[in-house]
């Protein structure tokens, strides 16, 4: 544990950084926001106008060479996560990388190996992992109280379709962008890598794999774009690696086409040998029921307690200073990447099975 402030830089001054990460770091008593980096001079100017004078860079490699840092928050376009994360890990820094961790399974595995070699942590941007009810679900499943997991089901319905049209102004009444909106970032397949899968299913799959500890083995998937340039709806079937007995199987479904301002649904159901649990991450509720009829309920959580958006940046600082462990580990993020990489390949092949290496 160190008493010195954690010197953290932010790469990417887009909407999520300026809405979440930069405010979180400026508020944290143990953090020093050492620098911000973005390829756009206009984005840097808007960021310093909103948050005050900061060291600014247009090249993250120049920043890494010039600044003495302990960690970096990476919130750039999806297709840039891998090279920036790799460079930061090679510089010996802890990182918090936004979801999706990367777009390719091979890149995820490479970063995990690099972090291990450098004895550094990768935190992935999944705020739901820090929810008390999500952690309660994880503790119950890992205790073995419910027995082996047999079947899982996950549904995520969210209000993002206008982002896939590049119409970020539709969400200004909801998010009240302090600096900027995401603009075209999620409507461009080259930048985003995909739509609902990489933007939203990554959250629900991350939560599912976090609470269950399951590892995907093979995937079948159907996706449809409808009238947007990226996938809008997804139906994913998964066979998981067997733990002790037969392998668990499950489904993950998602749509981004619900109305602006609708809170949506993110429900995870896990059915086991001796009972089941139902986790509602939007409302922060958890119901656990055993076959003998015993039932326990937790939550609800309200307001920001249900979605702790500052938690990932705060966790990076606390990991650096030795005050807490990694609450959203890279290993889970890598499993999500493996699942989604296989899902996109399956969909491209007409829905046939794709085995994960």
pLDDT at 53: 96
Answer whether residue 55 is part of any domain: yes
1 in any annotated domain:
no
85 inside domain: yes
**And the tokens for 70?**
């302990």
Please give the pLDDT value at position 303: 85
Q: What does the pLDDT look like over 274-322, one tens digit per residue? A: 999 999 999 999 999 999 999 999 999 998 899 999 999 999 999 999 9
Average pLDDT for 96-117 = 98
At which residue do the structure tokens 């309660």 appear? 136
Structural domain of 115 = 6-128+311-333
Indicate the number of domains in the chain.
2
pLDDT tens figures, 247-273: 999 999 999 999 999 999 999 999 999
275 CB neighbour count, 10 Å cutoff = 20
Q: Are residues 111 and 171 in the same domain?
A: no
One domain, residues 25 and 156 = no
What CATH code is carried by the domain that includes residue 252? 3.30.360.10
One domain, residues 65 and 172: no
pLDDT tens by residue, 26-47:
999 999 999 999 999 999 999 9
Closest by CA to 207, choosing from 130, 264, 145, 320, is: 130
Label the pairing between strands 149-157 and 249-255.
parallel
| Mean pLDDT over each residue of the chain, to the nearest integer | 97
pLDDT tens digits, one per residue of 113-126: 999 999 999 999 99
């Amino acid at each position: 544990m160190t008493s010195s402030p954690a010197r953290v830089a932010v790469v990417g001054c887009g909407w999520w950084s300026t809405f979440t990460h930069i405010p979180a770091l400026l508020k944290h008593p143990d953090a020093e926001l050492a620098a911000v980096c973005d390829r756009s001079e206009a984005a840097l100017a808007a960021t310093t106008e909103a948050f005050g004078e900061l060291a600014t860079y247009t090249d993250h490699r120049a920043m890494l060479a010039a600044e003495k840092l302990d960690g970096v928050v990476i919130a750039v376009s999806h297709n840039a996560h891998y090279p920036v994360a790799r460079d930061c890990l090679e510089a010996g820094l802890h990182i918090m990388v936004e979801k999706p961790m990367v777009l390719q399974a091979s890149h995820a595995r490479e970063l995990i190996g690099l972090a291990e070699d450098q004895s550094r942590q990768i935190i992935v941007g999944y705020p739901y992992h820090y929810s008390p009810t999500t952690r309660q679900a994880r503790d119950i499943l890992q205790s073995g109280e419910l027995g082996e997991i047999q079947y899982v089901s996950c549904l995520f319905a969210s209000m993002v379709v206008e982002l896939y049209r590049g119409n970020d102004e539709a969400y200004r009444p909801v998010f009240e962008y302090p600096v900027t909106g995401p603009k075209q970032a999620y409507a461009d397949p080259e930048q985003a890598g995909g739509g609902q899968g990489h933007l939203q299913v990554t959250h629900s799959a991350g939560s599912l794999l976090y609470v269950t500890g399951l590892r995907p083995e093979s995937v079948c998937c159907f996706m449809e774009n409808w009238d947007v340039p990226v996938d809008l709806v997804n139906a994913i079937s998964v066979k998981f690696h067997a733990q002790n007995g037969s392998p668990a199987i499950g489904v993950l479904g998602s749509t981004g086409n619900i109305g602006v301002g609708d809170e949506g649904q993110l429900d995870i159901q896990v059915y086991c040998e001796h009972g089941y649990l139902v986790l509602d991450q939007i409302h922060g509720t958890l119901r656990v029921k055993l076959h003998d009829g015993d039932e326990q309920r937790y939550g609800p959580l309200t307001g920001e307690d249900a979605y702790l958006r500052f938690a990932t940046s705060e966790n990076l600082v606390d990991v650096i200073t030795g005050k807490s462990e990694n609450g959203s580990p890279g290993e889970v993020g890598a499993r999500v990447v493996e699942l989604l990489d296989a899902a996109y390949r399956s969909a491209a092949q007409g829905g046939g099975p794709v085995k994960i290496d």
